[in-house]
Amino acid sequence: MNELGFPILSLMLAVPMAAAVACLFVSANAARWIALLATLVDLALGIVLWMNFDIGGAQWQFVEKAALFDRFSWALGIDGIALMLIMLSVFLMPICIGASWEAIQTRVGEYMAAFLLMEVLMIGVFAAQDIYLFYIFFEAGLIPMYLIIGIWGGANRIYASYKFFLYTLLGSVLMLIAMFWMVNEAGTSDIPTLMAYDFPVEAQAWLWLAFFASFAVKMPMWPVHTWLPDAHVQAPTAGSVILAGVLLKMGGYGFIRFSLPMFPAASVDYLWLVFALSMVAVVYTSLIALVQSDMKKLIAYSSVAHMAIVTVGLFAFNRQGLEGALVVMLSHGLVSGALFLCVGVIYDRLHTREIDRYGGLSINMPRYALLFLLFTMASIGLPGTSGFVGEFLSLVGVYEVSSWAAIVCTTGIILGAAYMLYLYRRVAYGVIKSDDVAAMPDLNKREIALLLPIALVVLWMGVYPESFMAPMRKDVGALEARLASVKPAGDAQVKMGKAPALTPAAHAEEGHH
């Protein structure tokens, strides 16, 4: 079986699945408790998983395989990258349930069932070791998310839910055709085998584009990002947390699991495309974020900018870039989730996301202002928070490949500081403008219990990122080795400076340059 003697990954899928079914048949309050309990059990299982993960051991651990279906099998297993993303999912889920505790009052059972189903599918995406099983988990997330946005969303929820569904569906279907071709060619649907398979170079370009269509929409990359602000603004708070926290990471995970190792030659050929789109995204969406009047929209656009840093980092083809991109993914999952929760906290009190309606919250909500400040700083990438580690590493990695990309993407950090600080100033500083804002109470215990764990992890990741990077190191190394043969030369060859030497031989060598 595996290291633990029981199928822990299947269990992590079964617990929320069973709870989801149970939630449909019980009262609202019971559904809340069942959902919270199930997500906490999954979190506990996730911790067991992490504790037992053998860092530096076999690449694929906790492997399970059962030939349950025709043409594809129930194959699960994780490497360090999947482990960290699963941890992110199971960590955010109880927080999402907690965030919906009071905000959701209609159809609670169905709501909790949809969220638990999302958890099943998210863990499934990261744990699947069969390419078709991956596709099923990847696509199935559309249905619960469509319902979450459409039923419990804001005023313009129907437009947003359609846009979300059809955009992501259109992106993914071509990937399925590419998968058929790959499985026919390689004769297996096993992901680890496919990762080592050398597809013909001329086919790689097409396959890469088909996968790119899917992951670029999911990520989302400019110019196919437009579904994201709509979906975020209309989704309920917890829906936004899951969307920004985990669903966007599926795109990055797809690049690192499929596009890069399976089509290395095409990845280099289309480097210009990824870099160009990411560079546009960083600057363009940051500028858009600067002029937003809706808080959620601002954070949504900042997500697009952060995800662009992930894509450039991934396509840097070196260790710093890859590790940096992964840390940005984890960090952004926590920070943007927390920022959406912060928006949710004040939205629950005043029922508006208009930035202009607020002001001076640090006067009557000091605890809120403190936590909001921490997450704002983490989003900017202040040293000591998780954001810094990831962005620094990514940009170092990118600099080795293309100094222009690095320069343009670094402006994103400056612009990021601009729009986040501007947001914070308008919401938390200044004077209180109206009575209803003045009447807003500070965070209650439930809200502190939601935000504090994220704050602690953000600081942990900022101060000692080794805990999070150690499990992924070997996998990043394996990917780097896979990409070594096609690695682009880059335009910034960093060399160790030489001390001035006095020997004539050294001078002669100097002259050859």
Partner 1 sequence: MNYELWFQLASPEIVLSISSLALLLIAAWGGVQSSRLVSVLTVVALFGALALSFNFLLNPSFAEGADAFYGQYRMDRFASLSKILVFLSAIGCIIVAPKFFARGNLMRPEYPILILFATIGMGLMVSAVDLLTLYVGLEMQSLAAYVLASFLRSDDRSAEAGLKYFVLGALASGILLFGMSLLYGFTGTTSFIGIQTAFSDGVSTGALFGIVFVLSGLAFKISAVPFHMWTPDVYEGAPTPVTTFFATAPKVAAMALTMRVAIEAFGGQQSVWQQIVIFVALASIILGGVAAIGQQNIKRLLAYSSINNVGFILIGLATGTEAGASAMMTYLIIYVAMTLGSFICVLDLNDRDGRPVEEIAKLAGLSKTRPGLAAALAVFMFSLAGIPPLFGFWGKFVVFDAAVAAGLIPLAAIGIAASVIGAFYYLKVVKVMYFDEPADVIAPSDSAARMALVTLTALFVSPLGYFATLALSPVTAGAAKALFWAA
Q: Which residues bind partner 1 (CB under 8 A)?
A: 67-71, 132, 135-137, 139-140, 142-143, 146-147, 150-151, 157-158, 161-162, 165-166, 169-170, 173-174, 176-177, 180-181, 184
Nearer to partner 1, 47 or 170 (CB): 170
CB of 118 to partner 1, least distance (A): 13
Q: Which is nearer to partner 1, 13 or 469 (CB)?
A: 13
For partner 1, the closer CB: 150 or 313:
150
DSSP string covering 338-395, please? Answer: HHHHHHHHHHHHHS--BGGG---HHHH-HHHHHHHHHHHHHHHT-TTSHHHHHHHHHH
Smaller CB separation from partner 1, 157 or 249: 157
> Measured from the CB atom, is 158 or 484 closer to partner 1?
158
Shortest gap between Cβ of 139 and partner 1 (angstroms)? 5
CB nearer to partner 1: pick between 68 and 501 = 68
Instruction: Give whichever of 209 and 409 is closer to partner 1, judged by the CB atom.
Output: 209
Helix axes 386-401, 295-314, angle to 10 degrees: 40
Compute the least distance from the CB of residue 300 to partner 1, in Å: 21
1 exposed, middle or buried (CB, 10 Å; 0-12, 13-18, 19+)? exposed
Of 454, 492, 316, 479, give the one whose Cα is nearest residue 391.
Answer: 316
Q: Is the CB of 161 or the CB of 386 nearer to partner 1?
A: 161
| Whether the bond into 144 is cis, omega within 30 of 0 | no
The least CB distance from residue 12 to partner 1, in Å, is 17
| CA distance linking residue 354 with residue 294, whole number of Å | 5
Asked if 432 and 438 count as a contact pair (C-beta separation under 8 A), the reply is yes
Q: How far is it, in rounded angstroms, from Cα 460 to Cα 331? A: 11
Nearer to partner 1, 68 or 484 (CB): 68
Q: How far is CA 243 from CA 195, 216, 235, 247, 465, in A?
A: 27, 15, 9, 5, 24
CA distance 166 to 64: 33
Smallest gap from Cβ 19 to partner 1, in A, equals 16
The minimum distance between CB 231 and partner 1, in angstroms, equals: 15
CB of 132 to partner 1, least distance (A): 8
How many other β-carbons are positioned within 10 Å of the β-carbon of residue 187?
10
Q: How far is the CB of 238 from partner 1 (least distance, A)?
A: 18
Nearer to partner 1 by Cβ, of 169 and 486: the residue is 169
The nearest distance, CB 210 to partner 1, in angstroms, is 8
Angle at 407 (CA atoms; ends 403, 409), nearest 5 degrees: 115
How does DSSP classify residue 316? T
> Which pair of tokens denotes residue 234?
């209309």
> What sign results for the dihedral spanned by CA atoms 210, 214, 215, 217?
positive
Which residue's structure tokens are 């050929």?
269
C-alpha pair distances (Å), 127 with each of 124, 179, 257, 302:
5, 18, 11, 28
DSSP 491: S
CB of 177 to partner 1, least distance (A): 5
CB of 226 to partner 1, least distance (A): 17
Residue number, 1 or 68, with CB nearest to partner 1: 68
Other C-beta atoms within 10 Å of 318: how many?
22
